[in-house]
């Protein structure tokens, strides 16, 4: 009978373990970097802020929202400023990256009003007009 040398098997197992850990950590760091990047975080904050402002508004009110940071992020990513904010039903969507991988960040408002959203050229602001919801 021949005795096999087990030292080689332990080394291969450790190398595989280290390589898998490096892959896992690199994926985790990539995820955290993209999640904490300016555009993604700014989309989320802006969508929630707009929805909360609309929820607190009443018909006949209007407000301006300075979107200078969003304008800079959209310009950096090649997105047209007039298409940053969209409304579908009771959902506000803010999209600052036109890479096609994501559809932006959407957040719903619960106030039963109709909202007209218009960008104001050359001012980096959006105007929101709150109106009575038509049946």
Q: DSSP of 84-100, one letter per residue? A: SEEEETTEEEE----SS
Cα 83–chain centre separation:
15
pLDDT reading at 135 higher than 80: no
Please, where are the H alpha helices in the chain? 7-35, 38-55, 68-77
Average pLDDT over residues 42-60: 92
* Of residues 133 and 7, more confidently modeled: 133
pLDDT score at 28: 95
- Record the pTM: 0.71
Report which of 45, 51, 93 is spatially closest to residue 69, judged by C-alpha positions.
45
Residues 88-116: tens digit of each pLDDT: 989 999 998 877 667 789 999 998 899 99
pLDDT tens, position by position, 1-12 = 555 655 556 678
The residues that bridge with 65 in the sheet, in sequence order, are: 126
Using an 8 Å Cβ cutoff, are 59 and 130 in contact?
A: yes
Pairing of strands 62-66, 125-132: antiparallel
Q: Which residues contact 58 (CB under 8 A, 6 or more apart)?
A: 113, 130
Residues near 105 by beta carbon (within 8 Å), at least 6 away in sequence? 40, 43, 44, 46, 47, 93, 94, 95
Q: How far apart are CA 119 and CA 81, in angstroms?
A: 8
pLDDT tens, position by position, 121-130: 788 899 999 9
- Residue 14: its pLDDT value, please? 87
């Amino acid at each position: 009978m021949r005795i096999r040398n087990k030292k080689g098997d332990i080394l291969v197992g450790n190398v595989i373990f280290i390589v898998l850990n490096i892959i896992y950590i690199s994926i985790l760091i990539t995820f955290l970097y993209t999640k904490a990047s300016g555009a993604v975080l700014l989309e989320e904050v802006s969508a929630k802020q707009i929805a909360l402002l609309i929820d607190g508004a009443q018909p006949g009110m209007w407000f301006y929202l300075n979107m200078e940071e969003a304008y800079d992020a959209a310009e950096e990513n090649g997105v047209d400023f007039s298409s940053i904010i969209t409304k579908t039903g009771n959902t506000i969507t803010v999209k600052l990256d036109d890479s096609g991988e994501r559809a932006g960040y959407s957040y719903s408002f619960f106030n039963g009003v109709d909202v007209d959203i218009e960008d104001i050229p050359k001012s980096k602001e959006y105007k929101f007009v709150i109106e009575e919801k038509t049946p």
